[in-house]
Amino acid sequence: MKFKLGFLLVLAVLWLPLNAQADGMTLEQIAKLNQVAEIAVSPDGRRIAYTRIVPRDLRSEEDGAAWTELHLISPTGESRSFISGQVNIRAIGWKPDGSAITFIARRGEDRDPALYAIPVAGGEATRISRLNTGVAAYSFSPDSERVALVGSEPADSELEAERDMGFNQIVFEEDWQPRRLWIQSTDGRSEPEMIEIEGSVQSALWSPAGDRLAVAVTPRQLVDDTLMFQRLRMIRPDGEEIGRIDNPGKLGQMAWSPNGRHFAFISGQSINDPREGRLMVAGRDGGDFRDLLPGLEGHVWHVDWRDDDQIVFVSYEGVESRVGQIGASGRDQVNLVEQAGLIVEAISVAGDGRLVFAASKPEHPREVYALSRRNLEIERVTDSNPWLADVSMARQQVVTYPAADGLDIEGLLIWPLDYQEGERYPLVLAVHGGPEAHYSNGWLTTYNLPGQHMAAEGYFVFYQNYRGSTGRGVEFTKKGQRRPAMEEFSDLVDGVDYLIERGLVDGGRVGITGGSYGGYASAWGATYYSERFAAAVMNVGISDKISMLGTSDIPQELYLVHYRVWPWEDWELYTQASPIFFAHRAQTPILIMHGDADPRVDPTQSKIFYRYLTLQENPPPVRLILYRGEGHGNIRAATRWDYSLRLMRWMDHYLKGEGGDMPPMRVDYRLDDDDTADE
C-alpha cells in the first residue's frame, strides 16, 4: 500500500494535466483522450443519448479500465452529462415512448449488471430488470410493457455448493453455461420467465409489430461458435418458432423495419467469408433472403431503417466510409453521407427519419454527428477534447502503391510533423490485425499505435491495408486464404520500397509493429524479413502456427476463413508460415509484449518466440514483457501507459538512437518538465 500511494504521488506531481502542445501530440495526451462510444437518438428525433469513454487518471484513481459515462444532447444541441464519474454504462437505448434512456450497468448493491432506465425529464435511474447471472442484452416490446432479456443460465445449487467447498476445477470447453432468453413484464411485480430455446442465445430483437422476436442463437457459448455459427430464428414471445434464417457464415448487426414486415441483417457471403459485410433482407417469418448489394467492393457493418421500406447502411470502401440508403427491394440506392476523411462508425435513426452517427476524422477521435433536417448538411454535435484544436497535427495522406504482382494496395501515411523536402526519415509500419480488419482515413492514433506522436518525433508512419483486409469486397479478403505470411506480408515490404523509391524513407531505419495478426507480421518482419527491419515491436502476436491453432479459442474460425486446411493435412504450410521456423535469420531487435491471460493468442506464442530467439548462436536484442491479467490487448491505464513508453523507447533507440544493447529493463514513468504544461 505504501508503494502504491508513493507511486500515485509521483504521478500526481509529475504527470501534470495535459494541454495542447504546439509541437505535436504527446503520449500523455493520447493516454487522456476521450471519445464517443455508443449513440442512440430518441424516437422523436429531438434528443441524442451517447456514451463517452473517459480514461482513468492515475494521479487520483486506482488503475483500471476506462470509465464509460452517459451523456444527453438536448433539442437545442446542448450536451450535458447524465450519469458521470466512476461509472460504466453500456447498451444504451430508449423506451419506445421516448420518456427514458435505458442502459445496462452495475450500480449500488448490484452483484451483476442489471437493466436501468433514467427519465429524460430528470430524476434518478431506476432498475427495471435483473437476472441472477446478470443482463447481457435486452429489447423492449413496442408498447414498453414487456422486455426481453438475455443472460447466462444459473449454475445449479449443487454445483455452486461444490465450488464453495473448493472444487472449482475447470473442465475445458465442457463447463460452459448457455445464455438464455427471458421475458419479463415491466410492471415491477413479476419475475423474468425463461423461454425454452435450443442452443445459446446471443441477442434478441423485438419486432415493432409486437408479435415476434428475432433471436441470434449459437450451438454453444464458446467464442468460436459466437464468431462463426450464430444463426437467426423468428419466435413468438411464448417461444413458438415461426421460422429460421440460415445466414451464411458470420453474423453482424440486424434491424426490423418500422412496420415489422422486413428484417435486415449483415452476414458473410459464405461460411468461408472472413468477415460479415453483405447487406441482406428477409421477410418477417425468416426463410429466404437476398443480398441487396451483391457487387459491393466494400463491407457493410452498420444498418438501420429510415421508414418502412428504406434501409440506411454504412459501407467501408477502401479507406473511406459511405452512408447509403436503399429500398428493401434492392432499388433506389442513394448516398446520404460521403465525405473523404469522415469515417462513420455507428448510426442511429429516429422515428421521423433523422439520422445521427458517430464518426472520426484524421483530426479527432469519434464524436457525435447529425444530418440537419433543413438542408441535410453534416453537423458535428460534440467536442470531447476541445484542447485538440491547439495541437499541431501531422499530415495524413491516402497512398496507393503496386504490389509485386501488380495488385493495387491502399494505405494511409502520416508524415513527420516537421518534414523537410529532400530529407529521408525513419519509418514505422503499423500493421493491423485480423487480417480481416482495415484502416480508414479517420483517427488512427492509439496507445499501441501512436501515429501522431511518432510523427511529432520525426517518423513516417504507414498504415497499410494489405491483401486480406476488409473494405475491398469478399474476393480481396480471401486473397490470403491458405497462403499465410506469403503475398499478404510481401505487400508490406512492397510498400516500404515504394516510400524509399519516392525519396521519403531511409531504408536502413525501418521499424514494424502491430497487434494480433499485426504482431504476427512483426515477428515475420524480425525473422523472415530481418534484413529489412531495424526494429520490431510484437504485440499479442503469433510465432508458431501449429501450437497457435491448438491453444486459441477460435480454431474453427482460423480453419474456415484463414487456413482452409488442417495442420495434419499440410504440416509444411503451417511450419513454413511460422516465424520460429526462421529464427536463425533473426538479427532485428524485437520487443515482445503480451497479456498473460490472452485467450485468443495464447501467451505461450510469445514465450516460444522469445526462447527460440535467445537460443540462437548470435541472438538479436530481444525482450519479453508479460502484462498480468491482461488479455488480447491492454485495457488498464497503467499497462497501456507502460506499453506506449516501451514501444517509443524501443523505436527511438534502434531507429534514431545509438542502437546496440537494449534499453534498461525498467521504464521511467516520470515526465520531464518540458513535456508538460498547464491546461
pLDDT the model gives residue 156: 84
Q: Give the model confidence (pLDDT) of 24-40 as tens digits.
A: 999 999 999 999 999 99
Q: Are 134 and 113 in contact (CB under 8 A)?
A: yes
**pLDDT tops 90 at residue 517:** yes
Q: Are 328 and 340 in contact (CB under 8 A)?
A: no
Strand 425-431 and strand 460-465: the pairing is parallel
pLDDT the model gives residue 148: 97
Q: Are 202 and 226 in contact (CB under 8 A)?
A: yes
**pLDDT tops 60 at residue 3:** no
Nearest alpha carbon to residue 245 among 220, 266, 225: 266
**pLDDT tops 80 at residue 545:** yes
Where does the pLDDT of residue 337 fall: very low under 50, low under 70, confident under 90, or very high at 90 and above? very high
pLDDT the model gives residue 4: 36
- The rounded distance, in Å, linking the Cα atoms of 199 and 217 is 6
Using the structure block, give the residue that is written with the C-alpha cell 422515428: 351
Nearest alpha carbon to residue 426 among 470, 457, 460: 460
Per DSSP, 650 falls in state H
Where does the pLDDT of residue 673 fall: very low under 50, low under 70, confident under 90, or very high at 90 and above? very low
How many other β-carbons are positioned within 10 Å of the β-carbon of residue 438? 25
How many other β-carbons are positioned within 10 Å of the β-carbon of residue 134? 16
Q: Give the model confidence (pLDDT) of 450-479 as tens digits.
A: 999 999 999 999 999 999 999 999 999 999
CA angle 557, 563, 565 (to 5 degrees): 105
| 163-177, 274-288, 601-615: least confidently modelled range | 163-177
Nearest alpha carbon to residue 432 among 368, 517, 507: 517
- The rounded distance, in Å, linking the Cα atoms of 491 and 596 is 31
Q: What is the gyration radius of the CA atoms in the chain, in angstroms?
A: 25
**pLDDT tops 80 at residue 18:** no
Question: Which grid coordinates belong to 530?
Answer: 530481418
Per DSSP, 177 falls in state -
**pLDDT tops 50 at residue 677:** no
- The rounded distance, in Å, linking the Cα atoms of 23 and 107 is 42
Using the structure block, give the residue that is written with the C-alpha cell 484524421: 362
Question: Which grid coordinates belong to 669?
Answer: 514513468
Q: Are 446 and 635 in contact (CB under 8 A)?
A: no
Look over the chain and give the mean of its residue pLDDT values, rounded to a whole number.
93
**pLDDT tops 50 at residue 542:** yes
- The rounded distance, in Å, linking the Cα atoms of 620 and 541 is 18
Where does the pLDDT of residue 59 fall: very low under 50, low under 70, confident under 90, or very high at 90 and above? confident
Q: Give the model confidence (pLDDT) of 127-145 as tens digits.
A: 999 999 999 999 999 999 9
pLDDT the model gives residue 352: 87
Question: Which grid coordinates belong to 94?
Answer: 430508449
Nearest alpha carbon to residue 484 among 536, 441, 444, 543: 543
Give the three-state DSSP class for 199: coil
| 148-157, 612-621, 638-647: least confidently modelled range | 148-157
Collect all residues with Cβ–Cβ distance below 8 Å to 173 and sequence separation of at least 6. 222
**pLDDT tops 90 at residue 22:** no
**Which amino acid belongs to residue 147?**
V
H/E element, 442: none
Phi-psi region of 205 (alpha: psi -120 to 50; beta: other; left: phi over 0): beta
- Percent of all residues in the chain with a pLDDT value above 70, rounded to a whole number: 95
**pLDDT tops 90 at residue 422:** yes
Where does the pLDDT of residue 481 fall: very low under 50, low under 70, confident under 90, or very high at 90 and above? very high
**pLDDT tops 80 at residue 5:** no
CA 582 to chain centre: 31
**pLDDT tops 70 at residue 653:** yes
pLDDT the model gives residue 375: 59
pLDDT the model gives residue 21: 40
Please give the full DSSP string across 542-578, using - where no structure is assigned. -S-HHHHHHH-S-HHHHIIIII-S-GGG-HHHHHHT-
**pLDDT tops 70 at residue 10:** no
Q: Which residues of 544-563 are buried (b: 16+ CB within 10 A; e: fewer)?
A: bbebbbebbbbbebbbbbbb
Question: Which grid coordinates belong to 227?
Answer: 464468431
Where does the pLDDT of residue 571 fall: very low under 50, low under 70, confident under 90, or very high at 90 and above? very high
Nearest alpha carbon to residue 55 among 630, 450, 641, 625: 641
**Which amino acid belongs to residue 144?**
S
pLDDT the model gives residue 322: 96
The size of the chain, in residues, is 679
Nearest alpha carbon to residue 588 among 529, 641, 647, 630: 529
Please give the full DSSP string across 107-174, using - where no structure is assigned. -TT-SS-EEEEEETTS---EEEE--TT---EEEE-TTSSEEEEEEEPPPPHHHHHHHHTT-----TTT
Which domains are delineated in the chain? Answer: 388-675 (3.40.50.1820)
Per DSSP, 11 falls in state H
**pLDDT tops 70 at residue 565:** yes
pLDDT the model gives residue 374: 65
pLDDT the model gives residue 373: 66
pLDDT the model gives residue 410: 98
Q: Are 318 and 340 in contact (CB under 8 A)?
A: no
Q: Are 18 and 679 in contact (CB under 8 A)?
A: yes
Where does the pLDDT of residue 54 fall: very low under 50, low under 70, confident under 90, or very high at 90 and above? very high
- The rounded distance, in Å, linking the Cα atoms of 336 and 482 is 38
Nearest alpha carbon to residue 669 among 643, 635, 633: 643
Q: Give the model confidence (pLDDT) of 193-246 as tens digits.
A: 999 999 999 999 999 999 999 999 999 999 999 999 999 999 999 999 999 999
- The rounded distance, in Å, linking the Cα atoms of 45 and 348 is 10
